[in-house]
Amino acid sequence: MVFADLEARAAALDAADPLAPRRGLFHLPEGVIYLDGNSLGALPLSVPGRIAAVLREEWGEGLIRSWNEAGWIDLPARVAAKIARLIGAEPNAVLVGDSTTVNVFKTLDAALRLVPDRRVVLTDSGNFPTDIYAAEGLAGLRAGGFEIRIVRPDEVASAIGDDVAVVMLTEVDYRTGRRHDMKAITAHAHAAGAVTLWDLAHSAGALPVDLVGAGADFAVGCGYKYLNGGPGAPAFLYVAPRHLGSVTPALPGWLGHAAPFAFDLGYRPAPGIERMRTGTPGVLGVAALDAALDVFEGVDMAVVAEKAARLAGLFVEGVERACRDLVLAGPRDPALRGSQVSFHAEEGYAVMQALIARGVIGDFRAPDIVRFGFTPLYVSHRDAVRAAATLAAVVNERLWDEPRFKVKAKVT
């Protein structure tokens, strides 16, 4: 076997892995090595039963009474508190709901209102496009608009000048895995009189995040990636408590009112983070996310990050040893990246399809990136080594060179 030594090392690491028992909390299809939890997390086994109970008992039997009797009305806040622990936020500073894109729009608007005399939103070319689209949409609605200045990721710190109102960044680059230094950039932004908005889509549930320690102002993130809330799961947003009193939502809604059931015609914001709520939360999605988040109970995110670094390290070592044609995209140092690694690959789309056909699921990102997410709660060290061996075989033996692997699907 090509990787006999790596296999032996992986087996020893698995045997000593404190997170290994967590794998049993997930449904994982037979014969699949799942390295795409950075796009859609795997299904926690607790979710189907919880959804069935919400449907049959709470909705079916309880009907409208369940808002009070099953606690639907407080459920988003309970879920938000679970997420808050994972991202180093104050428990009352996170709101669960809407999509990440909507939350970018809402928090960016709130951030800009804090710095009314400036007209630049600084971001980088590694940001996920939806954040920039949402900013463009907002710019079109605000009197006088604002400039969206896009620089290279390595230029961000030096580009924070005294005209910048908001530094809006995704902490972990969705393509390369490169990770920004949140604390340093936030300090830099504050020194220049700007505020920060962090997209944690590829951070929350993958890495230790410390919003309070970094002094972050605003943040958003996804529920369906490392938080395993299921396709289209509710997203979240964060507003630092020091800003909450002065933040008014761009799209106020009745459930964000100080007294929703007074049905006043005039809007008065709720005192806390609830003021950012636009409308009724999707209870089914929030309940699924609630059950899913239990897999993190008692988990130390520092231990998750250490395992992620070992998994990715084994994978990169295996791929680079066996396969000269693949070039690492993004940082080699685990301290500088998130929980994923990517390679530049010629015919990357077909390579990924051939890999998926052999039971190793990652994804492809244009123009030439094959991307692998390592979710330490359910990926083993052996998985990482076997995935590397399968990828090397696909590339070295040109197993991707079949017409069926070149047909582009609607969703990649």
Ligand X SMILES: Nc1c(O)cccc1C(=O)C[C@H](N)C(=O)O
Of these, 206, 222, 227, 355, which contacts ligand PLP (CB under 6 A)? 222
Contact criterion met (CB below 8 Å) for 373 and 36 = yes
Which H or E run contains 169?
Answer: strand 164-170
360-361 and 33-34 beta bridge pairing: parallel
Q: What is the rounded distance in angstroms from the CA atom of residue 275 to the CA atom of residue 272?
A: 6
Count of Cβ atoms closer than 10 Å to residue 83 Cβ: 26
* Residue 100 interacts with ligand PLP (CB under 6 A): yes or no: yes
170 is in an annotated binding site: yes
Q: What is the rounded distance in angstroms from the CA atom of residue 278 to the CA atom of residue 271?
A: 15
101 is in an annotated binding site: yes
224 is in an annotated binding site: yes
Catalytic-residue membership of 296: no
* Residue 201 interacts with ligand PLP (CB under 6 A): yes or no: yes
Catalytic-residue membership of 371: yes
Catalytic hit among 224, 349, 364, 374: 224
CA nearest to 372, candidates 134, 177, 130, 114: 177
* Residue 174 interacts with ligand X (CB under 6 A): yes or no: yes
Min separation Cβ 201 and ligand X, Å: 6
Two structure tokens written together for 234: 């509710």
Contact criterion met (CB below 8 Å) for 52 and 208 = no
* Residue 199 interacts with ligand PLP (CB under 6 A): yes or no: yes
Instruction: Tell me the site size for ligand X, rule CB under 6 A.
Output: 4
- Report the partner that residue 394 touches, choosing among ligand X, ligand PLP, none (CB closer than 5 to 8 A by kind): none
Catalytic-residue membership of 85: no
- Report the partner that residue 411 touches, choosing among ligand PLP, ligand X, none (CB closer than 5 to 8 A by kind): ligand X
Q: What is the rounded distance in angstroms from the CA atom of residue 53 to the CA atom of residue 401?
A: 47
CA nearest to 389, candidates 309, 306, 314: 314
Min separation Cβ 171 and ligand PLP, Å: 9
Catalytic hit among 82, 225, 275, 365: 225
Which H or E run contains 108?
Answer: helix 100-114
Two structure tokens written together for 408: 């582009």
CA nearest to 43, candidates 384, 383, 411, 378: 378
Site for ligand X in 109-128 (CB under 6 A): 128
DSSP assignment letter at 239: E
Two structure tokens written together for 324: 């000269």
Count of Cβ atoms closer than 10 Å to residue 260 Cβ: 15
Of these, 79, 95, 168, 235, which contacts ligand PLP (CB under 6 A)? 235
Instruction: Tell me the site size for ligand PLP, rule CB under 6 A.
Output: 13
Cβ closest to ligand PLP, residue 66 vs residue 103: 103
Two structure tokens written together for 362: 């990652």
Q: What is the rounded distance in angstroms from the CA atom of residue 104 to the CA atom of residue 198?
A: 9
Minimal CB distance residue for ligand X: 174
Binding mask 38-67 for ligand X (x = CB under 6 A): -x----------------------------
Contact criterion met (CB below 8 Å) for 94 and 80 = yes
Site for ligand PLP in 271-300 (CB under 6 A): none
Cβ closest to ligand X, residue 188 vs residue 371: 371
Cβ closest to ligand X, residue 128 vs residue 372: 128
Min separation Cβ 225 and ligand PLP, Å: 7
In 294-403, alpha helices (H): 301-322, 348-357, 381-396
Cβ closest to ligand PLP, residue 92 vs residue 130: 130
Cβ closest to ligand X, residue 83 vs residue 160: 83
Cβ closest to ligand X, residue 174 vs residue 315: 174
Instruction: Using CB under 6 A, list all residues that contact ligand PLP.
Output: 99-101, 128, 130-131, 170, 174, 199, 201-202, 222, 235
Report, as residue numbers or ranges, the catalytic residues: 128, 199, 224-225, 371
Query: Binding site for pyridoxal 5'-phosphate: which residues?
Result: 100-101, 128-131, 170, 199, 202, 224, 254, 280
Instruction: Using CB under 6 A, list all residues that contact ligand X.
Output: 39, 128, 174, 411
